[in-house]
Amino acid sequence: MSRHKSIAIISILIFLCSCVALLGGMGLGLGLRDAFDQLTSNQAIEDTSEHTTNSPAAGRKLLLLEDNFSQQQWEITVDADHDKRYENGRYVITARVDNYSFWSLAEESLENFVVEIETTQLAGPNENDYGLILRHQDDANFYTFEISGDGFYSFSKLVEDEYLEIIPWQESEAIRQGEQKNRLRLKADGPNFTFYVNDELIDGAIDPTFSQGDIGLVVGAFDEPGVSIAFDNLKVWALE
C-alpha cells in the first residue's frame, strides 16, 4: 500500500469516526485497533517508529513533568481497603478489596501531551486493572488507559460517575503478563488518542468528551483482591 493511499484511508477513518462521535451527543469514543493493525507495517502513522525510550518522538518538545519517585510528592494513604506508599524508590498502590479501583493524582492541568510510565505487578491475581488516568476533571469525570496482568488493555471514561467503555478489553501480545514490568505510553492530541505498550503501538481512539485535566495512576481489583502495582519513571511531554 502506498503512503498516499494509507494517508487517504486514515483521513476517511477519522472523518467517519468524527461524524459518529458528533451524533452520539455525549461523545462516543471509537477504537481504531483494526485500522492501526493494517497500517502500522507501512509506517503510515505518525510516531510509530520514533517512540523509543531514549529518543523523544516527533511532537514531543517540552518535558513538562518527570518523576522517578525518589521524593514523596504523591498521596500517601494506608487503611483497610487500600494503601498508597513509597517503596524502594517506586510509588505503590495496593487494592485490598474486590471490585474497586484506587488512584492518585499528579495535581497538574494538561491538555495535549505524551505521558509515559513504567509499571510492575508486585502481587495479586493477574485478573486486575492498572495504568493511567488522564484529563481528570473530578472523581466522577475522567479517562483511563489500563492493562491487566493477564494481557489485556482498555480505554474507558467515567462521565458523571457512569462507566463507559471506549475500547473494550482487548488482548495484546505486547503486554508482559504476571509479575513483570510494562511501559505504558499514550498520546492525547485533542480528541485523538494513541496507545503504546513496551514501545509497541497497540490501538487508537477518538473521543471529544474531555479536552484537558489532571493525570494520575490507578489500580483496581476484580473478584479477587490483593492487587499491588509499582509505578516508576513518569514522564510527560507537551505536544507541538
pLDDT tens per residue, range 80-91:
999 999 999 999
Beta-carbon count within 10 A of 65 CB: 15
Beta-carbon count within 10 A of 81 CB: 13
Domain 3-238 is of which CATH architecture?
A: Sandwich (2.60)
| Exposed/middle/buried for residue 74 (C-beta within 10 Å: 0-12, 13-18, 19+) | buried
Q: Note the pLDDT of residue 61.
A: 75
Query: Per-residue confidence at 60, pLDDT binned at 50, 70, 90?
Result: low
pLDDT reading at 52 higher than 60: no
What pTM, to 2 d.p., does this model score? 0.80
CA–CA distance, 233 with 217 (Å, rounded to integer): 12
Rounded to an integer, the average pLDDT of 175-185 is: 97
Q: Note the pLDDT of residue 129.
A: 98
Query: CB of 117 within 8 A of CB of 167?
Result: no
Q: Note the pLDDT of residue 240.
A: 74
Contacts 24+ apart (CB under 8 A), 45-50: 45/10, 45/194, 45/201, 47/187, 47/194, 48/201
Query: 15: which residues sit within 8 A by CB, 6+ positions away?
Result: none
Query: CB of 99 within 8 A of CB of 125?
Result: no
Q: Note the pLDDT of residue 55.
A: 37
- Comparing CA positions, the residue from 160, 142, 78 lying closest to residue 105 is 142
Rounded to an integer, the average pLDDT of 189-195 is: 98
CB crowding 83-107: b at 16 or more within 10 Å, else e = bbbbeeebbbbbbbeeeebbbbbbe
For residues 78 and 6, the model is more confident at: 78
Query: 120: which residues sit within 8 A by CB, 6+ positions away?
Result: 90, 179, 180, 181, 182, 229, 230, 232
Query: Per-residue confidence at 42, pLDDT binned at 50, 70, 90?
Result: very low
Query: CB of 32 within 8 A of CB of 40?
Result: no
| Exposed/middle/buried for residue 200 (C-beta within 10 Å: 0-12, 13-18, 19+) | middle
Beta-carbon count within 10 A of 23 CB: 8
- Evaluated on CA atoms 74, 207, 114, 163, the torsion sign reads positive
Q: Note the pLDDT of residue 56.
A: 42
Which cell is 39 given? 497500517
pLDDT reading at 150 higher than 70: yes
pLDDT reading at 231 higher than 90: yes
